Structure 1
Amino acid sequence: MTTTVHPVDQVLPARQMASLGLQHMAISYLGSVAVPLMIASALKMSQADTIVLISTTLFCTGIATLLQTVGFWKFGVRLPVLQGAAFSSVGPVIAIGTNPQIGIAGICGAVIGAGIITMLIAPYVGRLRRFFPPVVIGCIVTVIGLQLLPVAYNWTGGGRGHADFGAPSFLLVAGVVLGTILVINRVGGPMMRNLAVLIGMIVGTLLAVALGMGDYSSVQESPWVTAPYPFYFGIPTFAILPIATILVVMIVQMVESMGLFVAIGDIVDKPIQEKEVVNGLRANGLASTIAGCFAAFPFIAHMENVGLVILSGVRSRWVVATSGVLMCLVALVPKAGAVIAATPSAALGGAGVAMFGVVVAAGVQTLAKVDYTSNRYNVMIVAFTIAIALVPVLAPTLFKQLPDWSQPFLHSGVVIACLVSVTLNILLNGVGKSDEAELKTVPHSL
């Protein structure tokens, strides 16, 4: 008797794994280095220490991705989830690090302590999986895409704050990337369609360089080799207040991660249950604990790669695991990472518009299967959730005067989508009664 292997668990030929893994890494690289760059700048680190911080963050990003995709024992959600340092941790980390009595050693201790506590409480948080029926999942996926689109628009215009933002040359490059992706999906073979985003970015980068874009000076300045190792900045120190601060951030991330895990499981047609959610949250905690040893930061799933999974149609977790291995290797060779970082933002913008747009389409596809005819409450759940969850994107200062303790929960549209949709579904429908008919397992691909 033959056993069919689910697409998520398929191991592809080595050449495909390498090229598809590179595509995932190229998309997520800039997001991965943004967090250590912002923190290093705020803490006024030297160039040498900044390079080390970037390398250790990239190395831990690869480790965290392998923990989630490959997994071991009771760790890892085992889905095509690429991890990255959480942007929500930037403010608290800077606040801890700029305190002269704490410093970066205190940051490391806080991340380690909060990571250990996260592993311990994961089973309790994982019990909330039953509060994520189809109407909630659809809201979360839709908000993920809508929240990411402004990022793509900023890339398309040349980068936030660029003096010539929105210049026709930037729009041309982004348009060529989009056009290339469309053409390849229309006339290309299966392998080319899988790599459409990477090919589009390469074409856009060549055009951008021909138009005088791209700054590759950092490639010359970057060293060839570096070796991340634990406790580079000294032995971690532990204090209750810094640990509690990072723990609040990680609890917020647990809510967001749970929504992302459930949503990604739905997208790749491998719905996950409480056990898988708990394993994924444990892996987040372990990855953050390891990161604290290497002077890196709390980790969470990178939403950018959700769109790539949909657009490429490749759902294998082993492809994303390969990108984790590549991230570890790039961390050892900063010059190679500098080449990727120098990709003109307009080329990324075209790819971003395509990827994040299909995430929105996947959310709409899920919401289209929800029962609105016999259950009028579902309309209210979807309407209220999306309207409130987009506040951080469309009116980012609206919640600024609310209490400080609430701010970590209000910076992310995905967190708000989880909280609002779950709460409304419980109040209006009751637990597990939002949609009696389960969604059909139809691949979320275009």
Structure 2
Amino acid sequence: MSSATTPATVHPVDQILPVRQMLTLGLQHMAVSYIGAIAVPLIVASALKMSQADTVVLISTTLFCSGIATLLQTVGFWKFGVRLPILQGVAFSSVGPVIAIGSNPEVGFAGVCGAVIGAGIFTLLMAPFVGRLRRFFPPVVTGCIVTVIGLQLFPIAYEWVGGGRHASDFGAPAYLAVAAVVLLSILLVNRYGSPMMRNMAVLVGMLVGAALAYGLGMGSFHSVQESPWLTVPYPFYFGLPTFSLIPIATMVVVMIVQMVESMGLFVAIGDIVDKPVEEKQVINGLRANGLASTIAGMFAAFPFIAFMENVGLVILTGVRSRWVVAISGLLMCLVALVPKAGAIIASMPTAALGGAGIAMFGVVAAAGIQTLAKVDYERNRYNVLIVGFTISAALVPVLAPALFKQLPEWSQPFLHSSVVIACLVSVLLNAALNGVSVPDTAGKPASHSL
């Protein structure tokens, strides 16, 4: 057969799987991310003393916009979307600024919406300029970022394993037993299950763990009974957005942090799924973040970023199709319309989620270590310094969060995230010690020291 008639090989990221398989795997992605997806609106609603009805609307609009943001990144259109298996969720770094803006009686939640819209437009305009920094992310940098992503998530998994941060009997043997059963189930399915079952190992483990947890008296379906059957998210529920300089500037700082973090995540996730991300894709991904945030501001939601739970799931299952994650985005939009269905997912006992979290976050850290293992340390001693300095600095927010509290207020958003610190420290050290690879006139990379 001639090369002209040979069909092009479809990359695993672009593969469209059978509908039933995509639905099942999409549900698995949504299930492992749902708790994180509703955490921010719950925190904000509680801090701003919203009514039960307003809280339900805020959760629904956040889920709905998370689904839209996911579709923008996975499916994409025109010059929007990085087109990788990335599920988008609300960034925790936006919680503090959102509460601060919304608590101001002269601004209110309408000012929050205006600030998110303004910051989203800022991101749209800045994406082409920020995206050009792609060349600052060689393997030694992306390996550090992925490793830190996994390591910084371990405390969250441990809290889940122990029954939740506020559990009065935190760390009870029953919680530990449930998490251990989840881990054992995931291992057994991966070892003895069929290929399809292995793809669903995390979901199977969570269901087995949930069954055991409910049998031991953990968990409750009380929230399911209280949740309404139907709600319809629509724009401007909290009134027309108001635009003020200080709130917008505050949210712009959040979005600058988001852009740094997102750029590192795009490149790192591209390496994980063996589909290197070029400068154009980074720009398209940042544009999608900006557009999603602009839409979110209209629907009373918040800025978005990639969910690391789903990155771990991609590694653990080996299913790299972005269309599977796109299905999870559609499912999030549907669940947003039926709060009772979302409440069923949210009733998953925390210990069962913790067992899955340890597995997923562990393989993320392992993927980063695998990337770092390919870095040349023998002929380039600077790489050891880059890795050592980056990981030690990036884990400060996790291991000693009070260490940076005396630094200037403007620096706090950048020091709050381990991923942002990993991006900044590794990029700066690599540029200073190894130089920056830029294309020369012949289109080949050339190294220029800074």
- Band the TM-score falls in, shorter-chain normalisation: over 0.9
2:130 paired residue number: 125
How far off its partner does 1:99 sit? 0.3
Instruction: Output the amino acid matched with 1:328.
Output: C
**In structure 2, C-alpha distance between the alignment counterparts of 1:334 and 1:93, rounded to whole Å:** 23
Structure 2, unmatched stretches of 5+, are 1-5, 439-444, 446-450
Q: Which residue of 1 aligns with 2:428?
A: 423
Other-structure match for 2:261: 256
Is 1:207 the counterpart of 2:226? The answer is: no
Matched, 1:329 2:334: yes
For residues 48-87 of structure 1, give each alpha carbon's deviation from its aligned partner in whole angstroms, at most 9, with x where no partner exists.
Answer: 0000000000000000000000000000000000000110
Counterpart Cα distance in 2 of 1:112 and 1:304: 27
Q: Could you list the per-position Cα deviations for residues 266-317 of structure 1 after superposition, in whole angstroms to 9, with x for gaps in the alignment?
A: 0000001100000000000000000000000011111111100000000000
For 1:199 and 1:308, the matched residues in 2 are separated by 13
Which consecutive aligned stretches of 4+ in structure 1 deviate over 6 angstroms post-superposition?
none
Q: Which of the numbers 73, 77, 82 marks the counterpart of 1:72?
A: 77
What is the CA deviation profile of residues 342-373 of structure 1, one whole-angstrom value per residue up to 9, with x for unaligned ones?
Answer: 10000000000000000010000000000000
Q: C-alpha separation between the residues in 1 aligned to 2:420 and 2:307?
A: 14
Q: Deviations over 1:172-208 (max 9, x none)?
A: 0000000000000001110000000000000000000
Measured in 2, the distance between the counterparts of 1:383 and 1:216 equals 46
Match of residue 296 from structure 1:
301
- Tell me which amino acid in the other structure corresponds to 2:21: Q
- Separation of aligned partners in 2, 1:239 and 1:72: 31
* 2:8 alignment partner in structure 1: 3
Question: How far is the alpha carbon of 1:432 from its aligned partner?
Answer: 2.5
Distance in 1, Cα, partners of 2:278 & 2:109:
38
Post-superposition Cα deviations, 1:151-172, rounded to whole Å, max 9, x if no partner, equal: 1000000001210000000000
Query: Percent of pairs identical after alignment?
Result: 79
Are residues 1:343 and 2:343 paired?
Answer: no
TM-score (norm 1): 0.97
> What is residue 359 of structure 2 aligned with on the other side?
354
SS of residue matched to 2:83: coil
Q: Which amino acid letter does the alignment assign opposite residue 346 of structure 2?
A: A
Whole-Å separation in 2 of the counterparts to 1:313 and 1:159: 29
CA displacement 1:11-50 (0-9 Å, x = unmatched):
0000000000000000110000000000000110000000
CA offset at residue 215 of structure 1? 1.7
Q: What is the alpha-carbon distance in structure 2 between the residues aligned to residue 205 and residue 395 of structure 1?
A: 33
> How far has the Cα of 1:216 moved from its partner?
1.1
What letter matches 1:10 in structure 2?
Q
Where 1:398 maps in the other structure, the secondary structure is helix
1:91 aligns with 2:96: yes
1:112-134 deviation line (CA, Å, top 9, x unaligned): 01101100000000010000000
Equivalent in 28, 46, 58 of residue 53 of structure 1: 58
Is residue 176 of structure 2 the alignment partner of residue 166 of structure 1?
Answer: no
Aligned to 1:104: 109
In 2: Cα distance, 1:12 partner to 1:304 partner: 21
How far apart in 2 are the matches of 1:242 and 1:388?
30
Secondary structure of the 1:178 match is helix
Alignment of 1:20-419 (within 5 A): 20-419=25-424
Distance in 1 between residues matched to 2:147 and 2:54, nearest whole Å: 39
Q: Quick one: which amino acid aligns to residue 300 of structure 1? A: I
CA distance in 1, matches of 2:309, 2:421: 18
Code of the residue aligned with 1:391 in structure 2: it is: V
1:13 aligns with 2:21: no
Over residues 197-244 of structure 1, what are the superposed CA-to-partner deviations in whole Å (9 max), with x where a residue is unaligned?
A: 000000000000000000210100000000000000000000111111
Counterpart of 2:3 in structure 1 is none
Aligned-partner SS, 2:305: strand
Structure 2 length as normaliser, TM-score? 0.96
Segments of 5+ residues of structure 1 without an aligned counterpart are 439-446
How far apart are the structure 1 equivalents of 2:338 and 2:238? 20
> In structure 2, the residue corresponding to 1:432 is in which secondary structure?
strand
Residue 89 of structure 1 deviates from its aligned partner by 0.3
- Name the CA distance, whole Å, in 1 between partners of 2:311 and 2:156: 15
SS of residue in 1 equivalent to 2:54: helix
Quote the Cα distance in structure 2 between the aligned partners of 1:326 and 1:292: 21
Counterpart position of 1:442: none
Q: Distance in 2 between matches of 1:215 and 1:36?
A: 21
Structure 1 residue 2, shift from structure 2 partner: 1.1
CA-based RMSD: 0.8
CA positional deviation for 1:395: 0.4
CA distance in 1, matches of 2:191, 2:94: 41
